[in-house]
Structure 1
């Protein structure tokens, strides 16, 4: 699966990726030249990096996994929630200017010789698009879809209704399975150019099914149970099931500069592995440490590293603290060894634990057959997958000991509210990885309960992001008008 990252970054020089969202500066007499084979790994790497960094970092603060020590003034936005149109703009910008742009190039590419069929490349592109469009709708609401990604043919695309986009993506994920299953016999397999599944198209079908199920479960509050049931029936009909292992990317990460695993690189220096500033000003929250301690969770020592001064697992509140009045980074636990593993390691895109928790929720809600026994089996398997991913010692036995205790929202049978138990344990499992999903789950379900809100905020937790100011300025006739208050009050359509 792995491909030399030196080649990977060389691809970026010839790919269609560029920093201009609308791509109106391309010279028509000297157009970008690439092929799906060269462009796919670049798009996948951009997709993986965006989700590993900005989206994961944002999510971990909004669900109170991480905090900031008193010796740093960084991250005040996370204790004040004063989100503006300039914050986190790269989520929106990178999605359109880089990821979607390259994926659309792949989907619309026609081999001038007619000798190569790129059906598998096109299918992979559609699946990654589906994943990222879901995220954009969850975070922003209405987004460009039907008129998006047309480059110079439409530089001011309209914004489509969020629910319309969701259902269009669900239909696309249904169709892409047929596209893969009915691909021509001469369809070129991307093999090692696919840095996620190495060209294993069966795994791509499983991933498409899993993304689709995540979106359908997201609709559980919208009164569309018959639609959800019919869509799940189409998943069952294709017979591929859901992912059976962590979905990861790795183009051949190394310890060299610009070539490390993107999450690891966020916290560690290249070559030496010394701590980046971010590694020093990102510490454990008091709430997360307390919860893990009170539930006797051995994942504590994998999610967090003990403090330098006292070798203890100590967290702090999410607040702006005057220097000299609080705990410094040396007093507090930091991001742990189960998350910051190695420069060369795989980057998680969707964990097996998340997929199993989604299936457990879908079964609990009656969307998937099997009843309580099947929901419990998936719930417990998800916890075991989390222990395995974090490399807890003797992970399966340790997980079984953990969920056998009588504590509600840990032990299935002793949890009166099964959805609360699922989402609470999902919050623990996604700590440090796909924690943006935990924020979305919190907005959707209200779980986990008891997450503190920083006292410096307005007493509410954000439920969405604002459209980037750059997008507002260049597409003002179409961008929905929002105010700073809408960050806290304008819920996603599925709420």
Structure 2
């Protein structure tokens, strides 16, 4: 039983985690991760989960939305020029790499290596959760950077300059770990500690963690579809079928609702991390980012032209006109009619309130992944099953965004005979799936849309800003901080790698 004092301590740790700045922990030699001196998994897990949630809710989602042209910048702001120029350097987006290793992996490794000194408490469930979160985050790192530290990573003082592992090798190692972790959950000791309210994602429901592990694994397997490894993919999916855990049946979200004084709130340092990116604490007033983040004309046009009622949930109407107007991604916009008050902004279906749950993997995304796997022949059922999954995914997106009469409106939407909207009307089923997935991931897990765009080329015809030179990025550069401290191991890179060094699965 957790005491009130412990819960207060955890909430304090949340506050610290929310304002912490990622820095390398490869050179931290003060603590031995195999013999942690102070904390326990029950105290460490929610902090690791909050760091994981915040990174994915903020930097990764914002980057994704810009690179798949959901958002743009108004003419009265000079912010975000990097997204129109694509002039990425090793000094950009460094917290993706740094926070993953210095905060998230550090704490998850701490949990994985922890042994209760008294031998009275079994932390199998905590360790399983840690493995699943690690798998999710390693997938993203490999997709964005390629080779990264893996086998020698997270050893802290035992190895401050870890070697880099081959990207595909890491992918398959993570897939193996996700396979094994479901077996671990299914065979956990009866006396294994229940994470319960210390688990801010699934509240200790290990069946949901097992389904989440399977869903991450399937996403990774589908990503390998262009690599000519269909027999490997089929074998791995057979292992998913065999473990009996299935896939997620509702969105995986985070909210520390059972810890301390009630989870995300309007208080400073306690807001939902996505909301906090756009709104001020306590008052809820619009922050600068909320003013300089506006709708792209590409997204607005797609939603409008296809009579999509999600338009009014994904975007808020322009202050001056009440219209849903977007703008191109450019650093040279005209002034009249293109300011933040003239354009639509991030909408009420995404910015619901400071206490909203933070989506980690939406049900819509998981269903679209299954639909693609079915079209590719990895899952059974053929066209009929793929169509059902596709349409269920659209319905889940409508419900998630709070569209009124969501199921009926979704059915009316996908019942249209429009390419990449209606299933029967779509000549290329993969294109339809990825295009609708792009709409569904607008504002949530949008980094996956960029990865899908790199992998498939869909959505087709997304504009490339004129200032960028006509080529879209396919990866990020290793941070200059990592290059400085681990120069012997960081792969050689140049600025052109952003455009030419494709992920291994492309």
TM-score, normalised on structure 1? Answer: 0.97
The residue that corresponds to 2:259 in the other structure is none
8 Å CA contact 1:139–1:464 kept in 2: the answer is yes
Q: Is residue 141 of structure 2 the alignment partner of residue 130 of structure 1?
A: no
Q: Is residue 63 of structure 2 the alignment partner of residue 52 of structure 1?
A: no
The residue that corresponds to 1:364 in the other structure is 375
Q: For residues 118 and 450 of structure 2, what CA distance do their matches in structure 1 show?
A: 48
The residue that corresponds to 1:115 in the other structure is 120
8 Å CA contact 1:284–1:316 kept in 2: the answer is yes
Q: Is residue 400 of structure 2 the alignment partner of residue 397 of structure 1?
A: no
Q: Is residue 50 of structure 2 the alignment partner of residue 39 of structure 1?
A: no
Moved over 6 A (4+): none
* Correspondence for 1:412 among 394, 415, 423: 423
SS in 1 for 2:225: helix
The residue that corresponds to 2:390 in the other structure is 379
Q: For residues 125 and 67 of structure 1, what CA distance do their matches in structure 2 show?
A: 36
Q: For residues 326 and 160 of structure 1, what CA distance do their matches in structure 2 show?
A: 50
The residue that corresponds to 1:436 in the other structure is 447
The residue that corresponds to 2:79 in the other structure is 74
The residue that corresponds to 1:463 in the other structure is 474
Aligned pairs for 1:165-314 (under 5 A) are 165-251=170-256, 252-314=263-325
Q: For residues 261 and 283 of structure 1, what CA distance do their matches in structure 2 show?
A: 20
SS in 2 for 1:221: coil
Q: For residues 333 and 423 of structure 2, what CA distance do their matches in structure 1 show?
A: 43
The residue that corresponds to 2:69 in the other structure is 64
**Alpha-carbon shift at residue 450 of structure 1 (Å):** 1.0
**Alpha-carbon shift at residue 345 of structure 1 (Å):** 1.0
Q: For residues 390 and 125 of structure 1, what CA distance do their matches in structure 2 show?
A: 29
Give the root-mean-square deviation of aligned CA atoms: 1.8
The residue that corresponds to 2:95 in the other structure is 90
Q: For residues 294-340 of structure 1, what are the alpha-carbon distances to aligned partners after superposition, in whole Å with 9 as ceiling and x for unaligned?
A: 00000000000000000000000100136736610000000000000
**Alpha-carbon shift at residue 184 of structure 1 (Å):** 1.0
8 Å CA contact 2:327–2:343 kept in 1: the answer is yes
Unpaired runs of 5+ residues, structure 2, are: 257-262
Q: For residues 238 and 14 of structure 1, what CA distance do their matches in structure 2 show?
A: 38
The residue that corresponds to 2:13 in the other structure is 11
The residue that corresponds to 1:24 in the other structure is 27
Q: For residues 233 and 449 of structure 1, what CA distance do their matches in structure 2 show?
A: 32
8 Å CA contact 2:142–2:148 kept in 1: the answer is yes
Q: For residues 154-197 of structure 1, what are the alpha-carbon distances to aligned partners after superposition, in whole Å with 9 as ceiling and x for unaligned?
A: 00000000000000000000000111111111100100000000
Q: For residues 305 and 7 of structure 1, what CA distance do their matches in structure 2 show?
A: 38
Q: For residues 41 and 453 of structure 2, what CA distance do their matches in structure 1 show?
A: 38
Q: 1:14 to 1:313 in 2, by over 3 A?
A: closer
**Alpha-carbon shift at residue 360 of structure 1 (Å):** 0.2
Count residues with an aligned counterpart: 492
Q: 1:5 to 1:307 in 2, by over 3 A?
A: farther
8 Å CA contact 2:149–2:162 kept in 1: the answer is yes
8 Å CA contact 1:412–1:418 kept in 2: the answer is yes
8 Å CA contact 1:471–1:479 kept in 2: the answer is yes
Q: For residues 287 and 155 of structure 1, what CA distance do their matches in structure 2 show?
A: 45
Question: Bigger shift: 309-318 or 320-329?
Answer: 320-329
The residue that corresponds to 1:334 in the other structure is 345
Q: For residues 235-287 of structure 1, what are the alpha-carbon distances to aligned partners after superposition, in whole Å with 9 as ceiling and x for unaligned?
A: 00011110000100001101000100000010011111100000000000011
8 Å CA contact 2:29–2:156 kept in 1: the answer is no
Q: For residues 241 and 69 of structure 1, what CA distance do their matches in structure 2 show?
A: 44
Q: For residues 134 and 397 of structure 2, what CA distance do their matches in structure 1 show?
A: 26
Q: For residues 73 and 289 of structure 1, what CA distance do their matches in structure 2 show?
A: 22
Aligned pairs for 1:484-495 (under 5 A) are 484-495=495-506
SS in 1 for 2:193: coil
Q: For residues 414-471 of structure 1, what are the alpha-carbon distances to aligned partners after superposition, in whole Å with 9 as ceiling and x for unaligned?
A: 1010000000000000001011000000000000101000000010110000000000
8 Å CA contact 1:55–1:436 kept in 2: the answer is yes
8 Å CA contact 2:22–2:95 kept in 1: the answer is no
